[in-house]
Amino acid sequence: MRALKLTVAYDGTNYVGWQRQLNGVSVQQALEEAFAPLNHGVAPTIAGASRTDAGAHALGQVASVNTDIDIPVTAVWRALNVRLPVDIRVLAVEDVRPGFHARFDAKGKSYRYRMSMAPILSPFDRCYVWHAPEPKRLDWMQEAATALVGRHDFVSFQARGAFVRETVRTLDRLDVTRDGDEVIIDCAGDGFLRHMVRIVAGTLAEVGTGLRPPTSMPDVLEARDRRVAGATAPALGLTLMSVRY
């Protein structure tokens, strides 16, 4: 068997997320179906590094697949892009060591969250930016973000219904910057809980509008209670930027 590593970009607007589900088409399903004609007509299982949510996007998702096909990687790359819908693109295909797994071998990931304070959101941003027009104090958001950097139990920032035993994660970076009317949150770490980035973004937005003080983040972490953190920001503002190995 041969292991292939795929680097994938997609607009998640029309998908139920990365992972296969019964209620609609997923990015994983689209990739597996595009791969089937290359794989003796059988759709292989393609594992993704991140199980992005419905409506979330990716510029640097990584996926892995095991196959016995004897086709050059450049031919695989071309064939997949011919068969995929226009909102999914395979950026690269590489041969990797046998046993490589996109999710379990990942050492870290980086995400970007975008929110707009513009009075009216451009129609060209409507699928990629959370429209949150209330004015926000960037310095308050930056102060709050600093308290989340490092190794912490992030269970307060995990969606209800998630079944993960270990909720301690390391955030290497959590930067809050502004570009015109847009607030951009860039984060990188060794792993993320379900909806964690979206809950962090929603909580920081509440800090920025004065709904909670910037000094409250240590208390939110200490509470270990989802009800103490802020609202979950919409998925459409989230993009998986890269995966580190």
Strands (E) across 103-203 are located at 108-116, 130-131, 150-153, 168-179, 182-189
Q: What is the pLDDT of residue 160?
A: 86
Q: What is the 3-state secondary structure (H, E, C) of 211-244?
A: CCCHHHHHHHHHHCCHHHCCCCCCHHHEEEEEEE
pTM of the model: 0.96
Interacting residues of 22 by C-beta distance below 8 A, sequence separation 6+: none
- Integer CA distances (angstroms), 234 to 66, 131, 161, 195, in order: 34, 9, 18, 10
The label of the residue with tokens 């920032």 reads 157
Q: What is the pLDDT of residue 163?
A: 77
3-state secondary structure of 158: coil
Q: What is the pLDDT of residue 25?
A: 96
Residue 98 buriedness (CB in 10 A; 0-12 / 13-18 / 19+): exposed
Q: What is the mean pLDDT of residues 166-176?
A: 97
Q: What is the pLDDT of residue 207?
A: 98
Q: What is the pLDDT of residue 162?
A: 81
Question: pLDDT tens across 128-161, in order?
Answer: 999 999 999 999 999 999 999 999 999 999 998 8
53 labelled catalytic: yes
Q: What is the pLDDT of residue 164?
A: 85
Question: pLDDT tens across 38-88, in order?
Answer: 999 999 999 999 999 999 999 999 999 999 999 999 999 999 999 999 999
Instruction: Find the catalytic residue in 11, 53, 186, 225.
Output: 53
